[in-house]
Structure 1
Amino acid sequence: MKFVPKILLVAVLLTAYSCKRFPNPFAEHNTILAEVENKKLYLHDVSPIFTPNMTSEDSLKILRSYVDQWVKKQLKIKEAERMLEESQKDIDQMVQEYRNSLLTHKVDQFYVDKNIDTLFTDTQIADYYNQNKADFILDKTLVKARIVRIPRSYDKKKTIEELMLTPREDGYQDLLDLCVKNNFELTELNQWTDFAVLRSLLPVDKTQDYDYLLNTAKVNEFEANDFIFYVRVLSVCRAGEYAPQESVREVIKRVIFNKRKEEIIRAHEDSLYRGALDNKEIVVNVN
């Protein structure tokens, strides 16, 4: 085949540098490294694969590998063209459609970036939530909770339970101070969290549901090794209920954002259409 002697010739030329650094392999930029029918790979095409500190041996090794891969790729393309000759028109159409899709996407993105409003007010989010509540029905139970882990040897366990149950704000601060002072581990689930995640933080049998933990008026206790875990669920939203607005806030923002994008794209398309009609650039013959 025509490309074989071309590869061998370059290999011989490059080997001539084997006793010194590879000084400038691109002096002859028009040197053909390989040729497959009417496709040619020139020496200057491969310049990015080399670095100044390469030895001639390394450069030659990398070059041979690159050329081999290029030749194999061209051969596969030629084979595919022969095999798919009858469906070439379909492939060309697919390529054209893909190109058109990329171009129109670029135009859409330009006008979206130029005009999109990325601010979301609480009112906008609340309005969307209230108008589309049916879209936000939970398929799992969500909770907010608090866990305190203390050593089994701690002798004021009742105090922990009392502070976890107190509704007073200073009661929580007292609990926090107590945990800091005694180096107790305090875990706060302040965001709406899957109930399964809460259970995973406790020394419980994973095969049970532990629905009794959802009683917000009670502190539950678990023991494991040398520690005691106190857990209280502060808020609960069960599967089948509407998701709390707070828990779907980011979802709503994405939906509103996408709607704004669609409106910008549609407005631009309508503007193009009207302008083309006014300027008699298009003719539509559909009644």
Structure 2
Amino acid sequence: MMNHRFALSFFAGAIFTLLFALACNRGADATQPESKVLAQVHNSVLYLSDMEGMFPEQCTAKDSAMIIHGFVDNWVRDKVLMYEAENNLPKNINIDKLVSDYRASLIRHNFEKNMVEILLDSTVTDTQLFDYYQQNKEQYKLSSPILRCRLLKVDKEKVDIEKLKKLWKSNSEEDFLALLDFASKQAELYLLEDSLWYKKEDIILRLPKGTLNGKLSIGKDLQLNEDGFIYFFKLNDIIKKGKPAPLSFVKEQINKVILHQRKKAILKEKTEEMYERALRKKQINIFPIDNLQ
């Protein structure tokens, strides 16, 4: 520990001297390159001037030493790794071509992205969603059952169970709103949106083990006790595995598909326009290939 502190203090003093020299050199001639060497790995050299702008204002010599020490350590390790990597490149890898291909890919991606952002109509109407769904519903068969249900989990020590049972059983709009208000304030968990579909396995995880084993019948209404909690569950509808999913369940997926198709159409159309324009301007030359065999 003492050696480490001594080394850091010594390094701090050295860095202070370097920083002072750097400042003096700049004052004398701002065009002079800084040549204080901090580290070297093979032919790669790290200069103090390479770290310009890395030091906060009012940085002490000790703080500067710690910053430089950390940077130098990372730089050295990185250069050692790069040296080994470059010297162990397989002979069949053309780095220049890979870099060129990657650069071209980045430029093309950025150009296409900007073009799509300008030209894409991102509004998908309900009619468009419905039409696509009707034409492709067989592609959206369920891999597992889904269901519509109501689910409520409450701490039995903190609520009026009899009052809650009455609200749960009621079919009146007023009582449902009261139930919703109660759930939002006191329930540990609640799912009361009748129009939403849920994966069966997701609901199973929220109920006591074994609750949904066996055949499920629509309209099934359960009240269960476990570990100080009471669960209210009612099954409103279920669609089996292998059946087409309802539109509401796959709406977001379809929306993404439609937008993706529009993007592809834009890129295809604009690419063709650019190709035709280049042809008209005689900017394209395709030369015959003789003696293919």
Query: TM-score, normalising length from structure 2?
Result: 0.75
Change (3 A) 1:286 1:231: farther
Q: Distance in 1 between matches of 2:279 and 2:90?
A: 40
Residue 7 of structure 1: aligned partner: none
Q: Distance in 2 between matches of 1:178 and 1:78?
A: 68
1:77 deviates by 2.9
Change (3 A) 1:12 1:36: farther
Q: 5+ unaligned residues in a row in structure 2: which ranges?
A: 1-10, 26-32
Residue 144 of structure 2: aligned partner: 140
Q: Distance in 1 between matches of 2:213 and 2:124?
A: 38
Amino acid at match of 1:222: L
Which runs of 4 or more aligned residues in structure 1 lie more than 6 Å from their structure 2 counterparts after TM superposition? 181-184
- 1:126 corresponds to 2:130: yes
Residue identity over aligned pairs, in percent, reads 27
Counterpart secondary structure, 1:48: coil
Residue 265 of structure 1: aligned partner: 267
Q: 5+ unaligned residues in a row in structure 1: which ranges?
A: 1-9
Q: What are the Cα deviations for residues 198-256 of structure 1, in whole angstroms up to 9, with x where unaligned?
A: 233322337x62432xx223322323355543321122222111111011111111111
Q: What are the Cα deviations for residues 87-114 of structure 1, in whole angstroms up to 9, with x where unaligned?
A: 46x1111111111111111111121111
Amino acid at match of 2:190: T
Amino acid at match of 1:188: L
Query: TM-score, normalising length from structure 1?
Result: 0.76
Q: What are the Cα deviations for residues 88-145 of structure 1, in whole angstroms up to 9, with x where unaligned?
A: 6x11111111111111111111211110111110011111111111111011111121
Q: Distance in 1 between matches of 2:164 and 2:173?
A: 16
C-alpha contact (below 8 Å) 1:128/1:252 kept by paired residues:
yes
Amino acid at match of 1:223: N
Residue 229 of structure 1: aligned partner: 231
Q: What are the Cα deviations for residues 170-223 of structure 1, in whole angstroms up to 9, with x where unaligned?
A: x243244367579874822422111222233322337x62432xx223322323
Change (3 A) 1:110 1:181: closer
- 1:92 corresponds to 2:96: yes
Aligned length: 264
Larger mean Cα displacement after TM superposition, 187-196 or 76-85 = 76-85
- 1:187 corresponds to 2:185: no
- 1:274 corresponds to 2:276: yes
Amino acid at match of 1:146: R
C-alpha contact (below 8 Å) 2:167/2:175 kept by paired residues:
no
Aligned-residue CA RMSD in angstroms? 3.4
The match for 1:55 among 48, 54, 60 is 60
Counterpart secondary structure, 2:178: helix
- 1:173 corresponds to 2:178: no
Q: What are the Cα deviations for residues 7-45 of structure 1, in whole angstroms up to 9, with x where unaligned?
A: xxx98752548xxxx768555452242445654433232
Q: Distance in 2 between matches of 1:71 and 1:211?
A: 65
The match for 1:41 among 43, 46, 51 is 46
Residue 70 of structure 2: aligned partner: 65
Larger mean Cα displacement after TM superposition, 260-269 or 45-54 = 45-54
Change (3 A) 1:155 1:42: closer
Q: Distance in 2 between matches of 1:46 and 1:132?
A: 59
Counterpart secondary structure, 2:197: strand
